[in-house]
Structure 1
Amino acid sequence: MAVNYTPATKVLPVDGIRLSTHAAGIRYEGRDDLLVVEIAEGSSVAGVFTQNRFCAAPVLLCREFLKSHSPRYLVVNSGNANAVTGQKGLDAAREICAELASLTGVETEQVLPFSTGVIGEQLPVAPFKKAFPATLKGLSEDCWLDAAKAIMTTDTLPKGISKQLEIDGKTVTISGMAKGSGMIEPNMATMLAYVATDAQVEPALLQSLLKQATDLSFNSITVDGDTSTNDALVLIATGKSGVVVNDANQPEFFTLLNEVCQYLSQAIIRDAEGATKFVTIEVDTAPDMETAREIAFTIARSPLVKTALFASDPNWGRFLMAIGRAPVKSLDVSKLSLWLGDTQLIEAGEPVATYTEEQGQLEMDKLEITLRVSLNEGSAATTVWTSDLSHDYVTINAEYRS
């Protein structure tokens, strides 16, 4: 059950984007598992992809196609990752793109493929070919929530959001959706996510804004420390609103984009496999950003920390253990302070005399927990979001392929 997360009942259309889903039977029966997204001609498209060395066939093609072509379609399937499938997997992904291209009158390289699901199984092409005509016939601007459901695997709820702002008297919309629940440790982006805006953004700037937003959102979450073979995040700017993002309005546009990305990335943590806690880890006054992030992620990845969170056990020694083993160049523990929610545990490297177990228990009993570490060695700060580690996480992953 997702932690304090209620999915949106409406995700606003973005002018220049049409979507359609279909039950193609790629792996699942009785549910939509295929998504096609149509992108208006002249749109800018940016993407970030997994750094896993066993990256999936669709990731390889996306990287290749984006270098020289302006995408017109995205094709996404759930249930089969088409990862570690060799040349056959590449051939299948390319054939799927070619088929959709032939039906829509675009070049093969203008179709970007995405897959999510089980690794190591060959992706069947026939279900795509059979489903494409009906899927294309169903293209609609108002299909974001259906699309978010179609790309789910172990997710329990669809993840989507819209934000709007007014620039120069015109309304700009940013809408997004994501899937992800396990195998979440960002290393570029994470999972699958698609964000679109009707603002006009030059391609190089769009890529830069995406990278910045990713670092503050999808690159700041972890469920289990595992980076997927298929992670991809795409940002599309159709320009249909007539608003051009420039130096003057870029800060407010980026703020909105970051809000969308942070909402989606945090939704993944709230819906993490077996999660019962949503955990915010803040590290501040660090000597540099690398130190801050290493400490935050070391805490967030620790199985002992995560199981203590699941048990609501205020065993703060586990937090210090994780901090102390973080792979940082230097750490003066005599300067360190630590808070669990509003309760201070450590001051200048030593336990706070007034702390009581009852105070810690009150904080750990909450569904949403904040852990703050002050290093008092500089001005760098970061925030990372994670979940606890429950019995259900083990069960879900032990039974994933059955």
Structure 2
Amino acid sequence: MSHTLSPLAPKTYPDMPSIGGVRFATAAVGIKYAERTDVLLMLFDAPAAVAGVFTRSRCPSAAVDWCRANLPGGTARALLVNSGNANAFTGRKGAEATALSARYVAEATGCAPQEVFLASTGVIGEPLDAHKFDGVVQRLAEEAREQDWVAAARAIMTTDTFPKAATRTADLGGRTVTLNGIAKGAGMVAPDMATMLSFLVTDAPIAAPVLQALLSEVVETSYNAITIDGDTSTSDTVLLFATGAAGGTSIERADDPRLGAFRAALADLTRELAQWVAKDGEGARKFVEVRVTGAESDASAKRIALSIANSPLVKTAVAGEDANWGRVVMAVGKAGEPADRDRLAIWFGDVRVAVAGERDPDYSETAATEVMRRDEIPLTVDLGLGDGQARVWTCDLTKEYVAINGDYRS
């Protein structure tokens, strides 16, 4: 199935610098899609520190199980990703497929299978034929040279309409380090600990436990702050690798003061990648930032923001460019969080549409509609109860979303 390029797609891609200690290659093996790359092999010249966060779905994929089992080892030599098949809900065959996939990579690279990380995305319930990787992995290992990050991002796409890649640099104890990332996701996106798939690599010398602390922290305001359709994937996986190729003393403590700029860069990078996922929502035409302020706590604000962002009625109003603020009131009220109707205020962009429990006396339908005609729409709710605040990002819900998912397996 072909999908029209999202109107929110980037007009240009960043110049992604190379990162020392990592190489990769892509291939088309026909897992589901014809004549498009669907396999990515990333290799690390020396053992890289690794951190990961995964879906909290009670029906995780076999690849998620594999990564969870290997993550305590703290080191990675390779990452193998395939699109077109999630290898989820595939029972014993799924576990066997992950073991065989890792074995192919280990044999081609001379590392242990436990140093191979795996990710799969695509159709749920269809066994993954890992034999398709036989020979291909060996060729990819031999070809792995250049770092074409956009090509890598393209290889992990399913219903995405554009690849997602971003880069940042940061000062780390007087040295400049680089952080690159790719992501995929367009549907079945309401992340619960991670996003559909995202892989981040830095040349910073950071120990695995510190990487884990950093990653677990930033997902809450990035990958866990987006939603497209309210459905959490079986395959959510974010992996962060550190090659240490930038040199310098390894950072062994999460409270090391040298980490300040790196922590900020990681948060900024993951937030950008997460927003690109929301902008590529299946059938999306509009990008929405939902900001909730004045809540009793940040956690309460986030639950209310997600209630708004996940509401089909809010999202269809956005699609129809209808400034229907009553649907926002509904979504706040159903969230189950502390709220006082008579303190509520709502803005579409900089247009206040409701205040003190009723329509704003200066409300202008024309001004509100102008905001709704934008490609990117800020929506703000102030609860007037406390200091809690949160931001989440979503997209509109269009007929195209139904069309895409109505025949996804065909």
TM-score bin (small chain): over 0.9
- Alpha-carbon separation, structure 2, partners of 1:327 and 1:90: 39
Residue 344 of structure 1 is matched in structure 2 by 352
Residue 242 of structure 1 is matched in structure 2 by 247
> Contact 2:50/2:74 (CA < 8 Å) preserved in 1?
no
Residue 152 of structure 1 is matched in structure 2 by 157
- Alpha-carbon separation, structure 1, partners of 2:17 and 2:153: 13
> Contact 1:336/1:349 (CA < 8 Å) preserved in 2?
yes
Residue 355 of structure 1 is matched in structure 2 by 363
Residue 20 of structure 1 is matched in structure 2 by 25
1:95 aligns with 2:76: no
Residue 268 of structure 1 is matched in structure 2 by 277
> Contact 1:178/1:194 (CA < 8 Å) preserved in 2?
yes
Which one of 324, 327, 336 corresponds to residue 333 of structure 2?
A: 324
1:224 aligns with 2:229: yes
Q: Percent identity?
A: 41
- Alpha-carbon separation, structure 2, partners of 1:16 and 1:327: 49
1:399, distance to aligned residue in structure 2 (A): 1.8
Residue 302 of structure 1 is matched in structure 2 by 311
> Contact 2:80/2:117 (CA < 8 Å) preserved in 1?
yes
Q: Which moved further from structure 2: 261-270 or 98-107? A: 98-107
- Alpha-carbon separation, structure 1, partners of 2:172 and 2:99: 40
Which one of 1, 6, 9 corresponds to residue 2 of structure 1?
A: 6
- Alpha-carbon separation, structure 2, partners of 1:368 and 1:22: 35
Over aligned residues, Cα RMSD in angstroms? 1.4
1:132, distance to aligned residue in structure 2 (A): 1.1
Residue 192 of structure 2 is matched in structure 1 by 187
> Contact 1:296/1:383 (CA < 8 Å) preserved in 2?
yes
> Contact 2:77/2:111 (CA < 8 Å) preserved in 1?
yes
Residue 291 of structure 1 is matched in structure 2 by 300
- Alpha-carbon separation, structure 1, partners of 2:150 and 2:144: 13
- Alpha-carbon separation, structure 2, partners of 1:68 and 1:256: 26
1:64-75 equivalence runs, <5 A: 64-68=69-73, 70-75=75-80
Q: Which moved further from structure 2: 331-340 or 188-197? A: 331-340
1:343, distance to aligned residue in structure 2 (A): 0.4
- Alpha-carbon separation, structure 2, partners of 1:320 and 1:4: 27
> Contact 1:17/1:141 (CA < 8 Å) preserved in 2?
no
Letter in 2 for 1:179: K
Structure 1 residues 173-223: Cα deviation after superposition (integer angstroms, max 9, x where no partner): 000000100000010011100011111112111111101111110000000
1:377 aligns with 2:385: yes
Structure 1 residues 9-31: Cα deviation after superposition (integer angstroms, max 9, x where no partner): 53222111111101122222211
> Contact 1:3/1:278 (CA < 8 Å) preserved in 2?
no
Classify the secondary structure of the residue corresponding to 1:132: helix
With structure 1 as the length reference, what TM-score do the two structures score?
Answer: 0.97
Structure 1 residues 348-389: Cα deviation after superposition (integer angstroms, max 9, x where no partner): 222111102111111111111011111121111100000000
Structure 2 residues without counterparts, runs of 5 or longer = none
Classify the secondary structure of the residue corresponding to 1:71: strand
1:141, distance to aligned residue in structure 2 (A): 4.1
Q: Which moved further from structure 2: 189-198 or 6-15? A: 6-15
1:36-185 equivalence runs, <5 A: 36-68=41-73, 70-185=75-190
1:168, distance to aligned residue in structure 2 (A): 4.5
Structure 1 residues without counterparts, runs of 5 or longer = none
Relative distance call for 1:199 and 1:39 in structure 2 (3 A) is same
Classify the secondary structure of the residue corresponding to 1:199: coil
Structure 1 residues 35-94: Cα deviation after superposition (integer angstroms, max 9, x where no partner): 111124242100000111111001001100112352211111011110000011101111
> Contact 1:277/1:367 (CA < 8 Å) preserved in 2?
yes
Letter in 2 for 1:17: V
Relative distance call for 1:167 and 1:204 in structure 2 (3 A) is closer
- Alpha-carbon separation, structure 2, partners of 1:366 and 1:164: 32
Letter in 1 for 2:403: T
Q: Which moved further from structure 2: 29-38 or 3-12? A: 3-12
> Contact 2:348/2:368 (CA < 8 Å) preserved in 1?
yes
> Contact 2:228/2:278 (CA < 8 Å) preserved in 1?
yes
1:212 aligns with 2:217: yes
Residue 233 of structure 1 is matched in structure 2 by 238
1:389 aligns with 2:397: yes
Give the 4+ runs in structure 1 shifted more than 6 A: none
Classify the secondary structure of the residue corresponding to 2:260: helix
Relative distance call for 1:207 and 1:167 in structure 2 (3 A) is closer
Classify the secondary structure of the residue corresponding to 2:257: coil
1:169, distance to aligned residue in structure 2 (A): 4.2
- Alpha-carbon separation, structure 2, partners of 1:68 and 1:4: 40
- Alpha-carbon separation, structure 2, partners of 1:252 and 1:165: 6
- Alpha-carbon separation, structure 1, partners of 2:173 and 2:71: 31
Letter in 1 for 2:304: I
Classify the secondary structure of the residue corresponding to 2:167: strand
Letter in 2 for 1:313: D
> Contact 2:172/2:259 (CA < 8 Å) preserved in 1?
no
Letter in 2 for 1:98: R
